[in-house]
């Protein structure tokens, strides 16, 4: 094998393990992760509507899972993903329009997204748990 | 002198090497903008209805305004999710066959669940 064709064992970029964790990259990864979670959760929510169109017994069975601790965690987790993906999605739309690219602005908008999505999540959890 | 390597016709069409241009990008942004008010409405509704019994949830889904917003949320939301998952698959799945199979599977599942949920909403609204 010639030198040029020998496999390269050097670390190739992007090489996640050697990068220092930072807000901007963590938020980017989280945007994808919440997007995937929301898509899977959408199927669960679609199933809810489908059960509502079936008979009362089947719906009661689905609702007993919804109101269980596991069900609450699933719905509460979906709400966090929705609020985060929504807020960070708006941040992305501003970038698409050409605004907020300065490092200082990217960090400021990032912290605003973290704060707003966490506040919305906590409020929704408190209201949701009081209604059950 | 034209320094562009593409023909004038190719430039005018603006479709690039994938022959799809910016359609996917635009569809993703358009659905994202539509989902801003829809997701806010849906999240509030989800909190309010998460413990609702059979009668209450059907009365809510069956009202005309909710039917329209819910069908919109289902259709636009699943379309946006499908577009996003396609990008994730294209980024991380490198085999041509498995990439295509996954993208097609995601689309089929999205259409199946979306249609089933929309039919369910219509059945509740129009009673059958």
Helix (H) or strand (E) run with residue A92 in it: helix A69-96
Contact A56 B74 (CB under 8 A): no
Of A32, A38, A127, the CB nearest to B47: A127
Helix axes A56-66 and A69-96, enclosed angle (nearest 10) = 80
CA distance to A31, A57, A93, B13, B30, per residue, from A28 (Å): 5, 43, 14, 32, 20
Residue A11 has pLDDT above 70, yes or no: no
Q: Six-digit token pair at A106?
A: 């990217």
Residue B58 has pLDDT above 90, yes or no: yes
pLDDT at A7: 73
pLDDT at B127: 84
Contact A50 B116 (CB under 8 A): yes
What pLDDT, in 10s, does the model give residues B7-49?
A: 888 877 777 766 777 889 999 999 999 999 999 999 999 999 9
- Which of B29, B47, B71, B88 to probe by mutation at the A interface, max A CB count within 10 Å? B47
What pLDDT, in 10s, does the model give residues A84-105?
A: 999 999 999 999 999 999 999 9
Contact A86 B40 (CB under 8 A): yes
CA gap A18, A12 in Å, rounded:
11
Contact B39 A82 (CB under 8 A): yes
Model's pTM, two decimal places? 0.88
- Min mean pLDDT across A34-38, A52-56, A75-79, B5-9 is at B5-9
């Amino acid at each position: 094998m010639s030198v040029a064709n020998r496999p390269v064992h050097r670390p190739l970029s992007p090489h996640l393990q050697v990068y220092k964790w930072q807000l901007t990259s963590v938020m980017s990864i989280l945007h994808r992760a919440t997007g995937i979670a929301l898509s899977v959760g959408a199927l669960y929510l679609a199933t809810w509507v489908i059960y509502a169109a079936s008979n009362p017994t089947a719906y009661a069975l689905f609702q007993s899972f919804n109101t269980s601790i596991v069900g609450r965690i699933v719905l509460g987790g979906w709400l966090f993903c929705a609020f985060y993906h929504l807020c960070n999605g708006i941040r992305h739309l501003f970038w698409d329009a050409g605004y907020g690219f300065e490092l200082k602005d990217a960090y400021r908008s990032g912290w605003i997204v973290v704060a707003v999505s966490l506040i919305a999540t906590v409020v929704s959890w408190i209201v949701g748990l009081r209604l059950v | 002198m034209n320094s562009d390597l593409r023909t004038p016709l190719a430039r005018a069409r603006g479709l690039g090497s994938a022959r799809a241009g910016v359609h996917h990008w635009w569809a993703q942004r358009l659905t994202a903008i539509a989902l801003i008010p829809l997701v806010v409405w849906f999240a509030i509704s989800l909190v309010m209805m998460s413990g609702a019994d059979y009668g209450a949830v059907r009365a809510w889904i069956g009202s005309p305004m909710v039917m329209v917003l819910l069908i919109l949320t289902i259709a636009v939301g699943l379309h946006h999710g499908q577009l996003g998952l396609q990008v994730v698959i294209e980024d991380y799945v490198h085999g041509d066959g498995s990439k295509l199979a996954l993208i097609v599977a995601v689309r089929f599942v999205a259409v199946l669940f979306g249609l089933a949920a929309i039919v369910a909403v219509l059945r509740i609204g129009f009673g059958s």
